[in-house]
A = this chain, B = another copy of it.
């Protein structure tokens, strides 16, 4: 089996509130075709790729937001994407809001193999933002109202000839995210994100958004010897400017490809999964060099404890 995977990051520009799923799915199919024409076999779409980033608005009755969520996947609206991907023999990773039969709400990403089968589902673990309406904000980031943090953790799945993991947006800022997957031998981590350029609680971070995005994904890649594919929904969406900077990162931490626009854009990279072993078998040979006996605080405590 080949250890080369041709990967595409399919960045989306903004999706406005009034844009129907049909319109969005057309854009996704167009990006899929572009990626396929560049030989990609795995196409990664952003977080919440089917709608605008609706946690920027608060609604008192959460069922009023139900229309932003998917109750089935594939849905009627996304079936054409699944069909076209299968026809082209291209796999993909897609983020969307999930409403389960028992009324749980997750920020979800699925991995679809080249034969059209859904091989993995990941639900976001690290939910940023706030639980309650904060009317003084210029825009809400009420993800903690709209989504339950998943307790299923970070899995790694055999697919595309390698070991694939997933994370979503804020997950990428936490080194534990990469490490839990690294300890399962992950070789490519797929990550969609929506990142407003303005961080309301501390605007001093605003000019650093691009730097921080690269820093966490590049270090997570290097420290675990894995590729990372980070894919934005960027640009000016309902008045809120979002980071673009979609990237494909090597196990060396080096940037292999990066978008140059804030709009719909495809970038690709040829990922030789054996490159991971340069790190996993040497400097980051975990079995030889890690020291879990002194890492206890990482799992024994949630917050900081000051003596």
Contacts and interface: CB of A to CB of B under 8 A. Distances in A.
Interface of A: 125-128, 149-154, 156, 158, 163, 170, 173-176, 178-180, 182-185, 199, 201-202, 204-205, 208, 211-212, 215-216, 218-220, 222-223, 252-254, 278-280, 282-307
A210 to B, nearest CB: 12
Given A278-B202, A282-B199, A283-B205, A176 B304 contact: no
Interface centre among A153, A205, A303, by most chain B C-beta atoms within 10 angstroms, is A303
A206 to B, nearest CB: 11
A301 B305 contact: no
Contact of A298 (B125, B183, B222, B285): B183
A280 to B, nearest CB: 7
A170 B125 CA distance: 30
A178 to B, nearest CB: 8
A208 B176 CA distance: 24
B302 A299 contact: no
A143 to B, nearest CB: 11
B212 A253 contact: yes
B302 A286 contact: yes
Contacts of A175: 175-176, 178-179, 219, 223
Contacts of A215: 215, 218-219, 222, 253
Sorted from nearest, which 6 A-B pairs have the closest CB atoms? Answer: A287-B303, A175-B175, A153-B294, A219-B219, A201-B282, A183-B297
